[in-house]
């Protein structure tokens, strides 16, 4: 059975949740991301879920995706 | 990648659409920001059910396909968003601006045992419409402007000149990106890394006295706006020769300011500003363009044309003064609001204010919701005809949905059954009868329907039952007398474990504190004191 909010009893206490950093950083709107393809090309994408498509074919596939929009 | 990107990517996958700006505002004004508790509370505020769970590595296969987690060996102390592919047993991890694919074995090695999940919420699945009235008006303006341009301005060579002030205007806006709160990697790249501060330092410099009144950014944005406005004024009146005559004067006048800017960067600030140099380049390009293509213009500028130009410049300067002033004020107010909300959301402050109130004792009621044995009791005194009671009712209903086992809500109608007209009394009687006979869900459905339509005759037609109202009336009147005797005649009134909700807060602010209250065991003290008081009252 898949874990979900209703069937899980092992919830973190509030104090534990306060000690975990969710992440900093200013709110950035409309930010893009960049994919480095295996042939060295850098392609701009909306978000990193598009990285594979952006480096298809002669570009030799995606190497790494970076930027605010992934 | 900021936490927003991770979270909104996750929420998008869950088909949950929130107002991102408002979410960011609420999250960043949470006193525990940037903790996971702040993230969880903010999602609760937006009615997105969520939880952080301890999950053992052996349970990884039981996790949903999308989740947020905390992994080992991360350089930055941030969460990661994970997508799993059942078919090829891959784990796609989005973290720190990177997307990495892990095999299950590699993923287990990084497993830290913490997962953050949100539940789907059908009410939030409708994507917020991005096309608003403002967009429609902008589109109409743009199309009519295009029609005008098509009719009057078809000369490519002259239109090419427009590119200079357009780019200049764009660069001037970027130079003022802090004022306009423009955050984008493309814009940031103009002033990236070590030079970033340099740009800001030059653009906002007040080193020279006169820069207190008008700085380089003001000059550039008004200059290029003025050029664009003049282009269209003289373009639509097919008077381009005059336009370029004026440009040659303006551009020559701009050269000393350009030299002054370069001198300032080189000798005073001793730093170079990429945007300022680019703007200088644009002005030199314009100057070159005008003297190469329009040096033989012989048209004389009339007094009327000078007046139109001066008037336009005056309007632009005034407009810019007010726009800038408004932006400065808005930015200052936004910061102040954020600080005020953070202060308001401070739980300790709220709690101290709450428990400094004297204990308020209320009578028993038949209208009980949630877990009667819960340590947190919310006593809500309301009236269906009180407009201010509607929002607190829906807030309490939402709290009940999320914390059914942790909260007990006792509801009272502060309503004079004898003084009010028959139909109004019937509504309250019917609501109490509905609760007693058909239960909580039927009661809430009936009250929701009342708030939705607020048509008494229609509501009674749909929700009336025939019954002897003697007992119901007796309870309602008993409550009414009690509240009058104890000077609790106003609605809505909320009592938390015996303490009256502080007047300086709005009742709906309870949303900010509910998670803390539920987990705060010290606040339960009042319950025992209240019990003693109740006994005293009975005696």
> Strands across the sheet with A33-37, in order?
A42-45, A33-37, A62-66
Shortest alpha-carbon distance between residue A10 and chain B (Å): 5
Share of chain B above pLDDT 90, in %: 50
How much is the pLDDT for B455?
92
For residue B403, how many C-alpha atoms fall within 13 Å in the half-sphere facing its CB? 23
Say if A22 falls within a structural domain.
Answer: no
Structure-model confidence comparison of residues A56 and B495, the more confident one: B495
Q: Long-range contacts of range B209-217, CB-CB < 8 Å, 24 or more positions apart? A: B216/B257, B216/B261, B216/B264, B216/B276, B217/B172, B217/B175, B217/B176
Share of chain A above pLDDT 70, in %: 56
Say if A64 falls within a structural domain.
Answer: yes
Q: Of B5, B34, B99, which has the smallest distance from its Cβ to A22's Cβ? A: B34
How much is the pLDDT for A28?
36
| Rounded mean pLDDT, A41-54 | 70
What is the SS3 assignment for B494? strand
Question: What is the domain partition of chain B in residue ranges?
Answer: 3-124, 150-335, 358-538
Give B 156-185 residues with CB within 8 A of chain A: 183-185
How much is the pLDDT for B75?
58
* B207 band by pLDDT with thresholds 50, 70 and 90: low
Among B25, B47, B97, pick the best mutation site for testing chain A contact (most A Cβ within 10 A).
Answer: B97
* B539 band by pLDDT with thresholds 50, 70 and 90: very low
DSSP state letter for A21: B
What is the SS3 assignment for B371? coil
Would you identify the CATH topology of the domain B3-124?
A: Cathepsin B; Chain A (3.90.70)
Q: Of A3, A5, A12, which has the smallest distance from its Cβ to B114's Cβ? A: A12
Say if A65 falls within a structural domain.
Answer: yes
How much is the pLDDT for B67?
93
> Phi, psi at residue B495, to the nearest 5°?
-125, 125
Q: Does B473 touch chain A (CB under 8 A)?
A: no
Say if A1 falls within a structural domain.
Answer: no
Q: Taking the CB of residue A27, how many other CB atoms lie within 10 A of it?
A: 18
Shortest alpha-carbon distance between residue A64 and chain B (Å): 7
How much is the pLDDT for A67?
53
- The tally of domains found in chain A comes to 1
pLDDT digits (tens, 9 = 90+) for B156-199: 677 788 899 999 999 999 888 878 887 666 666 665 444 444 56
pLDDT digits (tens, 9 = 90+) for B279-326: 999 999 999 999 888 877 777 889 999 999 999 999 999 999 999 999
Q: Does A13 touch chain B (CB under 8 A)?
A: yes
Report residue B88 as tokens: 């090829």
Mean pLDDT over each residue of chain A, to the nearest integer? 70
> Strands across the sheet with B493-496, in order?
B367-370, B407-413, B376-382, B493-496, B499-500
Q: Of B21, B32, B53, which has the smallest distance from its Cβ to A11's Cβ? A: B53
Burial class (CB in 10 A: 0-12, 13-18, 19+), B537: exposed
B535-to-A33, B248, B524 alpha-carbon distances in Å:
66, 92, 17
Burial class (CB in 10 A: 0-12, 13-18, 19+), B263: exposed
Say if A58 falls within a structural domain.
Answer: yes
The residues near B363 (Cβ < 8 Å, ≥ 6 apart) are: B412, B478, B479, B482
Range B150-335 has CATH code 1.20.1440: yes
Say if A23 falls within a structural domain.
Answer: no
Range B358-538 has CATH code 3.40.30.10: yes
| Rounded mean pLDDT, B18-43 | 91
- C-alpha B536: how far from chain center: 48
| Rounded mean pLDDT, B478-504 | 92
Contact by Cβ (8 Å): B66, B72:
no
In terms of residue numbers, what domain contains A50?
Answer: 31-70
- Least confident segment among B275-279, B387-391, B492-496: B275-279
- Least confident segment among A2-6, B219-223, B353-357: A2-6
Beta strand B407-413 with B376-382 is parallel
The residues near B258 (Cβ < 8 Å, ≥ 6 apart) are: B280, B283, B284
* pLDDT at residue B251 tops 50: yes
Q: Does A57 touch chain B (CB under 8 A)?
A: no
Q: Does B98 touch chain A (CB under 8 A)?
A: yes
């Amino acid at each position: 059975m898949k874990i979900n909010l209703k069937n899980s009893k092992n919830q973190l206490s509030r104090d534990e949740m306060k000690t975990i950093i969710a992440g900093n950083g200013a709110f950035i709107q409309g930010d893009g991301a960049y994919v480095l393809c295996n042939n060295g090309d850098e392609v701009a994408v909306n978000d990193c879920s598009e990285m594979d498509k952006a480096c298809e074919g002669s570009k030799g596939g995606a190497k790494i995706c970076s930027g605010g929009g992934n | 990648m900021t936490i927003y990107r991770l979270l909104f990517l996750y929420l998008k996958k869950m088909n949950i659409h929130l107002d991102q700006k408002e979410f960011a505002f609420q999250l960043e004004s949470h006193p525990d920001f940037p903790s996971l508790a702040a993230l969880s509370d903010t999602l609760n505020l937006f009615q997105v059910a969520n939880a952080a769970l301890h999950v053992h590595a052996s349970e990884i296969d039981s996790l949903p396909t999308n989740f947020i987690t905390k992994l080992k060996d991360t350089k930055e102390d941030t969460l990661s968003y994970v997508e799993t592919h059942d078919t090829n047993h891959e784990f796609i991890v989005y973290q720190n601006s990177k997307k990495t694919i892990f095999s299950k074995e590699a993923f287990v090695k990084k497993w830290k045992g913490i997962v953050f999940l949100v539940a789907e919420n059908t009410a939030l699945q409708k994507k917020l419409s991005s096309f608003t009235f403002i967009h429609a008006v902008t589109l109409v303006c743009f199309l009519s402007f295009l029609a005008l341009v098509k009719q009057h301005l078809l000369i490519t060579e002259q239109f090419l000149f427009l590119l200079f002030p357009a780019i200049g205007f764009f660069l001037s806006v970027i130079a003022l990106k802090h004022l306009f709160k423009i955050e984008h990697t493309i814009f940031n790249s103009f002033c990236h890394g070590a030079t970033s501060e340099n740009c800001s330092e030059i653009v906002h410099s007040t080193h020279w006295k006169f820069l207190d009144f008008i700085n380089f950014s003001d000059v550039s944005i008004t200059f290029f706006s003025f050029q664009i406005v003049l282009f269209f004024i003289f373009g639509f009146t097919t008077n381009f020769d005059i336009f370029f005559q004026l440009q040659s004067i303006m551009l020559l006048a701009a050269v000393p300011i350009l030299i002054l800017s370069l001198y300032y960067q080189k000798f005073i600030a001793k730093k170079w500003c990429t945007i300022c140099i680019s703007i200088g380049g644009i002005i030199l390009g314009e100057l070159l363009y005008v003297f190469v293509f329009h040096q033989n213009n012989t048209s004389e500028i009339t007094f009327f044309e000078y007046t139109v130009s001066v008037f336009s410049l005056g309007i632009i300067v005034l407009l810019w003064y007010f726009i800038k002033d408004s932006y400065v004020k808005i930015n200052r107010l936004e910061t102040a609001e954020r600080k005020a909300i953070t202060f308001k959301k401070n739980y300790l402050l709220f709690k101290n204010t709450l428990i400094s109130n004297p204990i308020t004792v209320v009578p028993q009621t038949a209208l009980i919701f949630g877990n009667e044995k819960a340590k947190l009791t919310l006593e809500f005194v309301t009236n269906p005809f009180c407009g201010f009671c509607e929002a607190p009712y829906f807030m309490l209903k939402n709290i009940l949905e999320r914390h059914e086992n942790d909260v007990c809500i006792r509801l009272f109608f502060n309503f004079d059954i004898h003084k009010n007209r028959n139909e109004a009394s019937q509504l309250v009687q019917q609501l109490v009868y509905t609760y007693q006979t058909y239960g909580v869900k039927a009661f809430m459905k009936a009250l929701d329907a009342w708030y939705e339509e607020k048509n008494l005759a229609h509501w009674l037609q749909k929700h009336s039952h025939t019954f002897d109202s003697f007992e119901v009336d007796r309870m309602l009147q008993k409550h009414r007398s009690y509240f009058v005797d104890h000077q609790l005649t106003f609605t809505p009134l909320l009592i938390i474990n015996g303490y009256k909700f502080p007047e300086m807060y709005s009742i709906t602010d309870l949303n900010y504190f509910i998670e803390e209250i539920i987990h705060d065991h010290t606040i339960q003290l009042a319950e025992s004191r209240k019990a003693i008081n109740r006994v005293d009252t009975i005696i």
